[in-house]
Structure 1
Amino acid sequence: MTDLSTDQICYFGYGSLVNEETLPAGTTVIAGQLSGWKREWRACSKGKAGHDGFAGMSKCALGVRRDEDSVIRGAMVLDTKANLPALDKREWHYSRKSLQEDRFLPDCGRQMPSDTFLYQAQDQHAYWGDEEHPILQSYVDCVMAGFHRLWGQEGLEHFVETTDGWDRVPILTDRAEPVYPRAVVLSQTLTATIDDLLKSVNAQYLTR
């Protein structure tokens, strides 16, 4: 692996950060897989005004835990250090965790920097979502659109199959009026595909 330049950062996205539409202009997204971490619906918070745009709403986002037997797909993002404060603000209820070298395997075989990190939910926020802290459907759509862009149908299936908590954390149906500040517009085909996949894991829904 190579060292980063002094004005560059490199981090692993496993949820909304996989979707290039949510990232600053000029970033480089490198698809691949990370070993030793498991994705789950266990990162709850109440939005802070000026932080993530949720205006005080409680919700559940994606988190990760260490698991030596797990491999998850996601994306390494190369960005400028100048964007780090804004990124930390976006991920305000997460902490940066350094990644071990060689845990990320890029799909393209590209040589990766040695100094990389991901965001893990802080202990006070690392609990399972529930009816008071639901998953936003608009957030799920954004995440899955990112996986679809990188890996197509296989990526969608992988995301659903390798994420814990679908059977215990309800999804708030806000697609028609998105609460998530980085919501994306999906094609009818992709919308139907996502809905079918979530049915396969017995996802439960709440109406607004």
Structure 2
Amino acid sequence: MTITYFGYGSLVNLDTIPADAVATPGTLKGWVREWRVCGMGPDGQGRCALSVREDPGNEIRGVMVREPRSGLKELEKREKRYRKVEEVGGSFRCDAEKKNGPEDLFVFVAAPDHYRWGTETHPILQSYLDCVLAGFYRFWGEEGVAHFLDTTEGWHVPVLKDRRNPAYPRAVALPEQVLSVLDEATARHGLTFLDMP
């Protein structure tokens, strides 16, 4: 028995999903990504994460992940600020085979208690953003990074520069060459960065 879900943020990064999970890149039509999940970390640092909402005029890249059903409890723990929207397989198109996803494909969206734009007290963690962008870079290169930046709403939310001391629990170590690509892309997009207190 397996579960199948669409990853559009950190779940795109293969280093953050189980080793026995299989990720298939593709596009989810009728949805848009946004910086609109707020909560407190175990360190007391407020933070903002990604969510998606239905929007017929948009589409976003991501991955269809299939893993053993035994991993569901751990996945739901990870995505504790979200709820599942079931049966979105008809909106997914695989990059390689140009076919839809399975009927049981689900996607995580912000739970109502956490659904709000990030702020200076709940910023985007740079360590989280690095993880997400590195996942897109691995699958689609620089064009994938640009796609993520162009198809995500909420860039008015500031980014906390925690790269040297990551507050994100699944932070990934990246080569300087990759960090340079990510920094150049975010600079072109005009993001606002906050220094660590």
Shorter chain as denominator, the TM-score bin is over 0.9
Q: Calculate the TM-score normalised by the size of structure 2.
A: 0.95
Q: How many residues align?
A: 195
Question: Which of 4, 11, 33 matches 2:5?
Answer: 11
Task: Report the secondary structure of 2:90's partner residue.
Answer: coil
How high is the sequence identity, in percent, across the aligned residues? Answer: 46
Measure the CA separation in 2 of the matches of 1:194 and 1:175: 12
Which AA in structure 1 matches 2:137? H
Measure the CA separation in 2 of the matches of 1:125 and 1:29: 27
Measure the CA separation in 1 of the matches of 2:88 and 2:19: 27
Q: Which residue number in structure 2 is paired with residue 190 of structure 1? A: 178
Query: 1:103 offset after TM fit, Å?
Result: 0.5
Query: 1:102 offset after TM fit, Å?
Result: 2.0
Which AA in structure 1 matches 2:173? V
Question: Which of 73, 80, 97 matches 1:92?
Answer: 80
The answer to which of 108-117 and 186-195 deviates more is 108-117
Measure the CA separation in 2 of the matches of 1:170 and 1:74: 23
Measure the CA separation in 1 of the matches of 2:89 and 2:135: 25
Cα 1:101–1:182 change in 2 (3 A) is closer
Q: Which residue number in structure 2 is paired with residue 68 of structure 1? A: 56
Measure the CA separation in 1 of the matches of 2:141 and 2:114: 31
Cα 1:111–1:131 change in 2 (3 A) is closer
Query: 1:56 offset after TM fit, Å?
Result: 3.2
Residue by residue over 1:143-163, the C-alpha shift from the partner in whole angstroms, topping out at 9 and shown as x without a partner, is 011001111111111001101
Task: Report the secondary structure of 1:35's partner residue.
Answer: strand
Does residue 114 (structure 1) correspond to residue 106 (structure 2)? The answer is no
CA contact (8 A) 2:88 2:107 kept: no
Which AA in structure 1 matches 2:22? T
Query: 1:120 offset after TM fit, Å?
Result: 0.2
Question: Which of 14, 38, 45 matches 1:44?
Answer: 38
Measure the CA separation in 2 of the matches of 1:108 and 1:86: 29
Q: Which residue number in structure 1 is paired with residue 150 of structure 2? A: 161
Query: 1:100 offset after TM fit, Å?
Result: 3.2
Measure the CA separation in 2 of the matches of 1:66 and 1:111: 18
Task: Report the secondary structure of 1:185's partner residue.
Answer: coil
Measure the CA separation in 1 of the matches of 2:10 and 2:64: 12
Query: 1:78 offset after TM fit, Å?
Result: 0.2
CA contact (8 A) 2:91 2:100 kept: no
Q: Which residue number in structure 2 is paired with residue 21 of structure 1? A: 15
